[in-house]
Amino acid sequence: MPLTPLRGIFAPVTTPFAGDDIDLSAFRRNARHYATTPLAGLVVLGSNGEAPSLDDDESDALIAAAREEYPTDKWLIAGTGRESVRMTVAACRRAAALGVDAVMVRTPGFFKTRITPESLLQYYTAVADASPAPVILYNITMFTGVNLLPETAAALSRHPNVIGIKDSGGDISVISELVAQCRPGFPVLAGATTMLYASLCVGGHGATVGPGAVAPEICAGVQEAFDRGDHPEARRLQALLVPIAKLVGPKWSVAGLKVAVDAYGLTGGPPRLPLLPVPAEGVRAIHEQVAVLNRSVARSP
Amino acid sequence: MPLTPLRGIFAPVTTPFAGDDIDLSAFRRNARHYATTPLAGLVVLGSNGEAPSLDDDESDALIAAAREEYPTDKWLIAGTGRESVRMTVAACRRAAALGVDAVMVRTPGFFKTRITPESLLQYYTAVADASPAPVILYNITMFTGVNLLPETAAALSRHPNVIGIKDSGGDISVISELVAQCRPGFPVLAGATTMLYASLCVGGHGATVGPGAVAPEICAGVQEAFDRGDHPEARRLQALLVPIAKLVGPKWSVAGLKVAVDAYGLTGGPPRLPLLPVPAEGVRAIHEQVAVLNRSVARSP
Amino acid sequence: MPLTPLRGIFAPVTTPFAGDDIDLSAFRRNARHYATTPLAGLVVLGSNGEAPSLDDDESDALIAAAREEYPTDKWLIAGTGRESVRMTVAACRRAAALGVDAVMVRTPGFFKTRITPESLLQYYTAVADASPAPVILYNITMFTGVNLLPETAAALSRHPNVIGIKDSGGDISVISELVAQCRPGFPVLAGATTMLYASLCVGGHGATVGPGAVAPEICAGVQEAFDRGDHPEARRLQALLVPIAKLVGPKWSVAGLKVAVDAYGLTGGPPRLPLLPVPAEGVRAIHEQVAVLNRSVARSP
Amino acid sequence: MPLTPLRGIFAPVTTPFAGDDIDLSAFRRNARHYATTPLAGLVVLGSNGEAPSLDDDESDALIAAAREEYPTDKWLIAGTGRESVRMTVAACRRAAALGVDAVMVRTPGFFKTRITPESLLQYYTAVADASPAPVILYNITMFTGVNLLPETAAALSRHPNVIGIKDSGGDISVISELVAQCRPGFPVLAGATTMLYASLCVGGHGATVGPGAVAPEICAGVQEAFDRGDHPEARRLQALLVPIAKLVGPKWSVAGLKVAVDAYGLTGGPPRLPLLPVPAEGVRAIHEQVAVLNRSVARSP
C-alpha cells in the first residue's frame, strides 16, 4: 500500500531503557501496538524520544527496529537534527539508509544568539540538498531558544526536498501564517496539544503531540470530527486532552510522557539523566488521567 | 615541569576549517603560538571552538594535535559536555586517553524546562565519578538556557574529581557566592571578559575568555597587576579589553573571535553553519580593535 | 434601548493631542464616527489610549466626552487600572460617576516579581467589591510582565461585579481554558487580532483589538461570518487583518495605530513621549494597508 | 552646613501604613532615626517606598514630612518617575517645591516594547529641562522591563540638570561602562547590594540599597573600608550583607524590607495590595538575619 499524505496525528515514540542501555524489545512491542491505532505515523528520535541523550549506535538501532515493526503505508519519521550541517546530514543519511519515510530536523540551537533567519535558511537548504530522505522542518523554541520564522519556513517550503513543518510553539497565528505563506498544500503540523483543534480551524494538517502516544483514538477523533464538520464533538474531544497535555507537557515533560506510556499499558520507564523520574504524586496524577482517557475511549460508540 | 595551579587566564582555541573539514595544521600552528604567551592554559572544544558543530572524530583529532603542540606544564583542557551522562562520559574518556589535564563539562541544556538543581547534582556526580580526567564545571546560561546555581556548584566542589568551575554569566555576585560557598580555594574562573578585574576583586582565580586568544598579554596583565596590588593598572588594562570583548561576545560571538584570530596573525577563518561569517563592516571593526590592542602591547614596558 | 450583551468587536480609542494637551474636539469627532460602525462598543483609556501617560483630569475629560458622543445602547468601557487598590478604586468611582457601562482593569504590574495568583485574586476582589461600575478583567502580559492565570480568572468570574475578561496574550489555549473554567457564558474577549477567528472557534465572545478602530467592518465581519457558520469567509476576512495587525501591534504599537487612525480619516496624531512618532517609511506602510482595507470594505456586498 | 557630594550609601525609606492610609507619624520617627546613621541620604518614594501604589496627596505628604525631619546637609531625594513627561515633570515640580535636594526618575516602562534609546534620551532631556530639582537617572529593568543603556546615560550625564544615576541591574560591567562613558566624576550608584563592594572597585560612587535601611553601619562600612584601601575588611562586611540582601531582594522584595525595618526597631508594617505580607516563616528568617547584623554592629570597634 502506498504511503498516505502527510496529514493526521503522529505520535512521538518514547525510548525505553533497561538499566544503562536502550530496551529494544520493549521499543518493538510499543511500535507494534501503535501500528494498530488510528495514528498516521510515528516519530522516533524526537524530543520525547530523548534523542539528544542517545548516541549514534543507539539511534540507528531504534530506527532499524521501528522500520521492521511499523507498516510501510504509514509514516515512519526519524528526528535527525544536530548542531551542524555535517552532523545533521550524516544522521539523515543513516536514517534514510534504514528506510525512514522522512526525517524531522529541528533547528540547531546552541549558538542561539547568532542564529538568524538567514543562517537557518542556509542551514536547512544545505541539509535538504544533501539528505536522501525528505525533510520535515521542526521548530521547537521552548527547547532550542531559536525561532524559525514563518517567512523563512515559507521560503524553505519551496525546496523540493522539504515536505512539511512541525511547529511546537503555542501561537495559533503562527500556524495561520505558515498555512498562508508556505506553498499551497504544504503540510503544517502543530506540536502543542492544547491547540490541536484550533490549528485545524485555521488550516493546519494535523499534529505531532505527546498525547498521541497514549490517547491516539481521542487525538485522531478531534481531527475526524473536524473533517466531517462536527465542531462541537471536536471541541469536546479536544477538552478531554487538556489535562494530560499539561501533565506530559509543561508539568513533567518527557519523563511524564513515559509514565503515561506505562499507564497506557506499553513500556515507558524512567528517563536518562539529566532528566529525573516523575515523583510519586506526579505518577499518580498521570495514571488517573490516562484512566480517564481510557474510559472515554471505551465509552464512545 | 609540574602543572601550575588552576589559576590565571585560559584561552578558548577556535577551530579552523579548510572547506568542509577541520584544518589541523593551522590548528597546530595556533597552539604552538599560544605556548609562547603568558596564558595559563588552553581550552579546546569550548563554545568558541564550535564543539557542538564537530563530530567525535574531529574532536579527537583536535585534542590529539593540541596535546602534541602544547607544553605539559600548562593546562590543556577539553570541552566534553554532551546531553547525557553516557555521551559525556564517553567524551571524557576519549579526552583523558588523549592526555588532557582536565575536561570542562558544560551543563546539559536541551530539556531546559526540566533540568533542576537536583538533576544537575546527579548528572555532574555521575560524570565526575566516571571521568578519568578531573572535571571543571561549566555554566553558560546564555547558550544552554540552564543555570547551575552556586549552591549546587558548592556541593559539587566537594567531589574529589571536580577541580574548578567556569561561570560565563555576567553577574559578579555569582562569582562572590561561588568563592564563598565552594570548598576553600576551589578555583572559580570567570567567563565574561568585562568582569575579569571585578571577579578578581571578589576572590576569583582567573578567567577563560575569548580575548585571551587575541590579547593574552593584556588579559594576563590585568591579573598580574591585581596580584601585585596595582588596582589602577588593572583597571586600565581591563578598560582596554572592553571594545574587543563586545565585538567577539554579544556582537559577533564565535565568528567574530575567529576574525580577531585572523587579525591577530593566526588562522581563524569562517565558522560552520548555522553560524554565518562576519560581514565586511564587522571584520573592519574587529581588525581595528585588534590593532589597538597590538599597539598597547607594543608600547608597554 | 438596552445595552447589548458583552459580545462582538470593541475598539480601543486613541487619544489625540493638540500640542501638550489632549484634543477633546477631535476625540469627540472620532467617537461620533465609531457610533456609526458595527462595533459593539468602545474602550477609552486603554493601552492604545495611552492611559498611563494621562493625568486624572485628562482621563476624566475623555470619559465625559465619550459618554456624551457615544450611544447608550452600545458599550462604553473605560480603562481604570492603576498600581494599587486605592488608586484603582478611585479611578473606577470617577469613571462610574461619568456614566461608563463598565471599567476594564488591567493587572497591576510594577512589582512584577512579587505579584502572585493569590495577590491578583485579593487585588481584583477588593477592586470589584468597591467599584460602582462592573469590572472587566484585563490581562496584558506584554506590557505588565504579569500573567493573570485562567484559574485565577475563573475564580474571579464568580464575583457578582466581574462581567468579563480581555486577554491580550497570543495563546489560543488560554482562551480555551478561560471559556472552559470561567462561569458558564462568562464573556471572554481576545486582545490579539491575529487570533480573532481562532478565539471564536474555541468559544470566545469577541475581541478588543486595535484594528477595530480602523477596520470595524472587517473585524465585525469575521464574527458575523463565524456566527452564521461561514468558516471560509471568516478565514478570508481574518487574513485581511493580519498585515495591519502587525503594523499597529508588534511593529509600531500605539504610535502605529494613531497613524492608521489618521489614514482611516479620523484624527490620530502623534503619541506622547516616551512613545516616538512612526518614521516616514512606517507611515507609508500603514497608509497602504489602510487603503487595502478600505478597498476591501468598498468591494464587499 | 552645605550638602555633601553625591557619594556613599543612600537608603530607600519604606512607607508605613495605618489601615488604608499612610502612617505619617511612624514615617517621621523612621526618618529621624536615619538622620543619626552614617547614611549619606534618603530616598523617599522609591520602589521600596511603594511609590507606584501611592496617590499624589500621599506622595506630597511623605516628602514634606521627610524634609522636616531630615537634616539639610544630607541628601533628601524623592522618586518622581511617572509614565509621561507631563506627569513626571508635575511630580518633580511638587517635590522641588517641598524642598528635596534631587529627584530620582525611573525610566517609564509601560510601553516597554516601544521604548528605545532615542525615546529615553528625549524623555529624560525633556524632564531634566523642566524639573526645578536636579535629576538622578534611575534604571531598574527588573521592575520596568526597560533598560537605560550606558551610551544613553552617558549622553544624559552631560545635561546640566542631570547629576547622577542609580543602576539597579546586577551586571558589574554596566557600572564600569557608566563610570567610563559618563562625564568625568559623574556619580554612579549601584542598586544591587550584592555588588556594592565590586561596584566600588570598578569606580562606582556608592549605592542605594534596601539593606541601607536596616544595616546602615555595615553598608557604609563597606565603603569606608574600601576608601581606606582595606579590601579584606570591605569584603568581610560585604559578605555579611548577602543573606539579608536576598531576603529583601529576590525573595520577599518590598514586603520583606518592611519586615526587616520592623526587626530593626523602626516601623515597617504590611505593604499595600497587590503586594502581600510576608508569611510567618519568611518573617522569622528576616528577623534572624537582622539580629545577626545587629550583633555584628555591636561587636565592631
C171-213 residue pLDDT tens? 899 999 999 999 999 999 999 999 999 999 999 999 999 999 9
Percent of chain D at pLDDT exceeding 70: 99
**For position B61, what pLDDT does the model report?**
98
Nearest chain C Cα to D52, which residue? C83
Average pLDDT estimate for A73-93 = 97
Separation in Å, CA of D249 to nearest CA in chain B: 13
Contacts of C171 in chain A (CB under 8 A): 170-172
Spell out the alpha helix ranges (H) of chain C.
24-34, 56-69, 85-97, 117-130, 141-144, 150-156, 172-181, 196-201, 216-227, 231-246, 253-264, 280-299
- Interchain proximity C111–D52, CB inside 8 Å: yes
Average pLDDT estimate for C21-48 = 97
Q: Which grid coordinates are listed for D30?
A: 523612621
* Cβ of residue D145 closer than 8 Å to a chain C Cβ: yes
The three-state secondary structure class of A191 is coil
Nearest chain A Cα to C196, which residue? A173
Percent of chain C at pLDDT exceeding 90: 94
Average pLDDT estimate for A155-163 = 98
Q: What is the mean pLDDT of chain C?
A: 96
Backbone angles phi, psi at C164, to 5 degrees: 170, 175
Q: What is the mean pLDDT of chain D?
A: 96
Q: From CA A300, how far away is CA A38, in angstroms rounded?
A: 15
The three-state secondary structure class of A105 is strand
Beta-strand (E) ranges in D19-128? 21-22, 41-44, 75-79, 102-106
Question: Which tens digits make up the pLDDT trace of D119-159?
Answer: 999 999 999 999 999 999 999 999 999 999 999 999 999 99
How wide is the angle at C-alpha C163 spanned by C-alphas C157 and C169, nearest 5°? Answer: 70
Nearest chain A Cα to C172, which residue? A172
Verify whether residue B166 is a known catalytic residue.
Answer: yes
CB A136 within 8 A of CB A167: no
- Interchain proximity B273–A54, CB inside 8 Å: no
Rg (CA), chain B: 18
Question: Which tens digits make up the pLDDT trace of D7-22?
Answer: 999 999 999 999 999 9
**For position D210, what pLDDT does the model report?**
97
Question: Which tens digits make up the pLDDT trace of A219-232?
Answer: 999 999 999 999 99
* Cβ of residue B123 closer than 8 Å to a chain A Cβ: yes
**For position C22, what pLDDT does the model report?**
98
Assign D258 a pLDDT band (cuts: 50, 70, 90). Answer: very high
Touch criterion met for B and A (3+ Cβ pairs within 8 Å): yes
* Cβ of residue B240 closer than 8 Å to a chain A Cβ: no
In 3D, which of B275, B220, B236 has the Cα closest to residue B9?
B220
- Interchain proximity C171–A170, CB inside 8 Å: yes
Spell out the alpha helix ranges (H) of B108-211.
117-130, 141-144, 150-156, 172-181, 196-201
Q: Which residues of chain B have pLDDT under 70?
A: 1, 300-301
* Cβ of residue A90 closer than 8 Å to a chain B Cβ: yes
Q: How many CA atoms lie within 13 A of A141 on its CB side?
A: 12
Separation in Å, CA of A266 to nearest CA in chain B: 23
Separation in Å, CA of A174 to nearest CA in chain C: 9
Percent of chain C at pLDDT exceeding 70: 99
Average pLDDT estimate for D39-57 = 97
* Subunits adjacent to chain C (3 or more Cβ pairs under 8 Å): A, D
Over 80: is that where the pLDDT of A300 sits?
no
Backbone angles phi, psi at A189, to 5 degrees: -110, 135
Q: From CA C111, how far away is CA A91, in angstroms rounded?
A: 48
Average pLDDT estimate for C6-31 = 97
Type of residue numbered A260: A
Over 80: is that where the pLDDT of D231 sits?
yes
Cβ contacts from B onto D, under 8 A:
62
Over 90: is that where the pLDDT of A1 sits?
no
Question: Which tens digits make up the pLDDT trace of D179-193?
Answer: 999 999 999 999 999
Q: From CA A291, how far away is CA A264, in angstroms rounded?
A: 8
Average pLDDT estimate for D246-269 = 96
Q: From CA D81, how far away is CA D87, in angstroms rounded?
A: 8
Contacts of B252 in chain A (CB under 8 A): 114
Contacts of B180 in chain D (CB under 8 A): 239, 242
**For position D170, what pLDDT does the model report?**
85
Burial of B232 (0-12, 13-18, 19+ CB in 10 A): exposed
Type of residue numbered D243: P
Question: Which tens digits make up the pLDDT trace of D75-91?
Answer: 999 999 999 999 999 99
**Which of B45, B53, B107 to mutate to test binding with chain A, by most A CBs within 10 Å of its CB?**
B53
Q: Which of D126, D253, D272 sits opposite C84 (nearest CB)?
A: D272
Q: Which of D113, D252, D274 sits opposite C120 (nearest CB)?
A: D274
Beta strand pairing call for D8-12 and C206-208: unpaired
Task: Give this prediction's pTM.
Answer: 0.92
Contacts of A53 in chain B (CB under 8 A): 83-84, 86-87
Residue with cell 517609511: C281
* Cβ of residue D243 closer than 8 Å to a chain B Cβ: no
Question: Which tens digits make up the pLDDT trace of C36-84?
Answer: 999 999 999 999 999 999 999 999 999 999 999 999 999 999 999 999 9
Assign D300 a pLDDT band (cuts: 50, 70, 90). Answer: low
Percent of chain A at pLDDT exceeding 90: 94
Question: Which tens digits make up the pLDDT trace of D168-182?
Answer: 988 899 999 999 999
